[in-house]
Amino acid sequence: MNTIVSLCKRRGFIFQSSDIYGGMNGFWDYGPRGVALKNNIRDVWWHSVVECPPLDKNGNPLRIFGLDSSIIQNPLVWEASGHAGNFSDPMVDCRITKMRYRADQLIAYVPENREGKSFAFFEDEDEKTISSKIKKCGGGKIEDFCRVSFIDLEVSSYKNVVAPDTTEVGTLTEPKAFNLMFETRVGAVVDDSNIAYLRPETAQGIFVNFKNMQDSMRAKIPFGVAQIGKAFRNEVTPRNFIFRSREFEQMELEWFCHESEAAYWQEFWLDQRLNWWKSLGLSADKINIRKHGRDELAHYAKDGNGTVDLEYKFPFSGEGFSELEGIAHRCDYDLSQHQKVSGVKQEHVDQSTNAKFIPHVIEPSSGLTRAVLAVLCNSYVRDDAHPSGFFLNFAPKIAPVKAAILPLQANDEIELIAKKIFLELRKKYAVAYEDKQSVGKRYAKNDEIGTPYCITVDFDSINGGDVTVRDRNSMQQERVNVSLLDAYLRDAL
Ligand code: ATP
């Protein structure tokens, strides 16, 4: 992870937000390469969900509509959705360090014989660190401990627990619910009646527009509404670079269907979404499908099939995997709640039988910024043969720069051809023109930012009209006529 984090800063992918003021925990800025990568992933999702949705059993495209709802909504939205009451994580504080931890993200090492000190760690802490801390604090050998979820410990045993950032026992408070929504005030008067919230998920903006969608688009179920946008959660422990941030972006689809078909559609979307992640280039063996246990069902999954997560093996995932996307059966929870609280009917009328019912919802909900991290981690390939010893193996369609045009030497004729190629290609593709430094250094830099092709113009190009195209992964070079470069890139992308 450290290698990736420093590469991201050095090569303009991701910076700590408000860097010159020491940053702000859980907030990140996306630099030129980062925003390009993020936008490309966003566009691939939007294309595959909204512009070119999958086909149904009969070969007809599913109907999915796009939406961009506001970030701040009537606070009643969050009352109805349950976020105001339920959107909280159990959290424990350390009285000494003032650190705050999510109890469900900690693990505890408890002595096999239940005597002596126990130790709390972040669930993704590596075994070496755990082992050396236990030894340092006089706990003995790690083999004499069993690993349990911290949340399963009796509160009465906290007096024997050493918190993650201390070496003393008994510093942790009892778990308390902590609401993750950011509050703000709307309007000029500073008054509690003006409190509003930054949305903690994009989904509710879709549910509260269900009726607008039905009415304006004459939508009949099954149909979907999709949205990409910012979400905000005052995470207790933002961690692992951009994986858990306080401001992030989500890509969410709410698929409205009849209850009797919900199980079918959940399987359908699981399959679609799995293939989508693979199409970004994520290695199949690093993706895991995990069905939620009954004890972790969200408040909306009152029955139904619950949630299936798609997970990825990040460098910090240890032996396990970490969530990329949840594909939840939200039942009719959200629409029923909005109907109850707003008093506005959220029903669908079956045209053939005139029966009225509230649709069920299957929700594939993923993180865009988390997708950026997965792609960055997955793309990092070490290879000593490459000038930098590694390259970023982005799928060409999401690479920030598709091709770099490099005049081999400072020569008017060569530069003229190179510029002409650049000015032509930039109309269709994100290409860069680079004439500084040696060509080797320019190759190295482009490997580091994952540019799939380098197009080099040399003396032979002046007469023959051919240029050299270097492939990032294989470093193979081939001569391609300038007139064919457009087609070459089009095929590759
Ligand atoms: P967790 O249990 O890890 O807090 P969650 O199950 O609450 O996550 P959801 O509410 O299902 O997450 O959100 C859907 C998706 O949004 C997640 O799969 C993830 O990709 C993304 N996401 C959620 N929280 C964050 C965050 N703090 N930072 C970045 N992405 C996030």
Does residue 34 sit in the same domain as residue 125?
no
Burial level of 113, CB count in 10 A (0-12/13-18/19+)?
Answer: exposed
Given this model, what pLDDT does residue 99 score? 86
Given this model, what pLDDT does residue 299 score? 62
Does residue 174 sit in the same domain as residue 186?
no
Instruction: Tell me which of 178, 198, 214 is where a domain ends.
Output: 178
Does residue 242 sit in the same domain as residue 174?
no
Predicted TM-score of the model (pTM): 0.89
In which domain, by residue range, is 212 found? Answer: 2-75+182-379
Does residue 123 sit in the same domain as residue 232?
no
Q: Could you tell me where the DSSP H helices lie in 289-352?
A: 333-342
Find the mean pLDDT for residues 334-358.
95
Find the mean pLDDT for residues 138-158.
91
Given this model, what pLDDT does residue 237 score? 82
Does residue 484 sit in the same domain as residue 432?
yes
Other residues' Cβ atoms within 10 Å of the Cβ of residue 356: 10
Does residue 365 sit in the same domain as residue 290?
yes
Query: Which one of 370, 373, 375 would you pick to mutate in the ligand 1 pocket, going by the greatest count of ligand atoms within 8 A of its CB?
Result: 370
The answer to whether residue 338 sits within a structural domain is yes
In this prediction, residue 305 has a pLDDT band, given cuts at 50, 70 and 90, of low
Given this model, what pLDDT does residue 62 score? 98
Does residue 330 sit in the same domain as residue 474?
no
**pLDDT for 204 beyond 80:** yes
Does residue 362 sit in the same domain as residue 464?
no
What does the DSSP 8-state code read for residue 55? B
**Whether the Cβ atoms of residue 324 and residue 377 lie closer than 8 Å to each other:** no
**Which region, left, alpha or beta, applies to residue 354 given φ > 0 means left and ψ of -120 to 50 means alpha?**
left
Total structural domains in the chain?
A: 3
Mean pLDDT over the full length of the chain:
94
**CA 457, 460, 464, 467: dihedral to nearest 10 degrees?**
-30
Find the mean pLDDT for residues 10-28.
97
The answer to whether residue 265 sits within a structural domain is yes
Angle, helices 412-425 vs 485-492, to 10°: value is 50
**pLDDT for 216 beyond 80:** yes
Nearest atom within ligand 1 for CA of residue 233: 27
Max Cα distance, the chain (Å): 83
Compute CA distances 91 → 88, 156, 178, whole Å. 9, 16, 6
Does residue 301 sit in the same domain as residue 375?
yes
**Whether the Cβ atoms of residue 291 and residue 266 lie closer than 8 Å to each other:** no
Compute CA distances 352 → 58, 304, 356, whole Å. 20, 26, 11
Nearest atom within ligand 1 for CA of residue 250: 16
**pLDDT for 493 beyond 90:** no
Q: Percent of the chain, pLDDT > 90?
A: 83
Q: What is the pLDDT of residues 217-265, one digit of tens each?
A: 999 999 999 999 999 999 888 889 999 999 999 999 999 999 999 999 9
The answer to whether residue 384 sits within a structural domain is no
**Whether the Cβ atoms of residue 237 and residue 367 lie closer than 8 Å to each other:** no
* The amino acid at 393: N
Residue with the bigger pLDDT between 138 and 60: it is: 60
**pLDDT for 304 beyond 60:** no
- Give the rounded distance of the alpha carbon of 54 from its chain centre: 22
Given this model, what pLDDT does residue 191 score? 80
Q: Which residues contact 464 (CB under 8 A, 6 or more apart)?
A: none
The answer to whether residue 336 sits within a structural domain is yes
Does residue 328 sit in the same domain as residue 466?
no
Full DSSP string of 63-76: -EEEE---SB--HH
Full DSSP string of 427-475: TTS-EEE--SS-HHHHHHHHHHTT-SEEEEE-HHHHHH-EEEEEETTT-
For atom 26 of ligand 1, the residue with the nearest CA is: 244
The answer to whether residue 289 sits within a structural domain is yes
- Residue 346 sits at φ, ψ, to 5 deg, of -120, 35
Instruction: Tell me which of 332, 352, 379 is where a domain ends.
Output: 379
Q: In the structure, which protein residues have their CB atom closer than 6 angstroms to any atom of ligand 1?
A: 201, 233, 235, 244-245, 248, 250, 323-326, 365-367, 369-370
Q: What is the pLDDT of residues 364-387, one digit of tens each?
A: 999 999 999 999 999 999 999 999
Least confident stretch, 27-36, 229-238, 376-385, 390-399: 229-238
CA-to-CA distance for 215 and 223, rounded, in angstroms? Answer: 13
For atom 10 of ligand 1, the residue with the nearest CA is: 201
Distance from residue 367's CA to the centre of ligand 1 (Å): 7
The answer to whether residue 202 sits within a structural domain is yes
* Cis preceding linkage at 61, omega within 30: no
Q: Which residues contact 271 (CB under 8 A, 6 or more apart)?
A: none
Residue with tokens 């239940």: 114
Q: What is the CATH number of the domain that holds 441?
A: 3.40.50.800
In this prediction, residue 71 has a pLDDT band, given cuts at 50, 70 and 90, of very high
Instruction: Tell me which of 379, 404, 436 is where a domain ends.
Output: 379
**pLDDT for 423 beyond 70:** yes
Find the mean pLDDT for residues 83-89.
79
In three-state secondary structure terms, 414 is helix
Least confident stretch, 25-29, 92-96, 291-295: 291-295
Given this model, what pLDDT does residue 177 score? 82
Does residue 187 sit in the same domain as residue 172?
no
Q: Percent of the chain, pLDDT > 70?
A: 98
The answer to whether residue 420 sits within a structural domain is yes
Least confident stretch, 87-91, 115-119, 185-189, 350-354: 87-91
The answer to whether residue 80 sits within a structural domain is no
Given this model, what pLDDT does residue 297 score? 63
Distance from residue 364's CA to the centre of ligand 1 (Å): 12
Does residue 265 sit in the same domain as residue 311?
yes
Q: What is the CATH number of the domain that holds 7?
A: 3.30.930.10
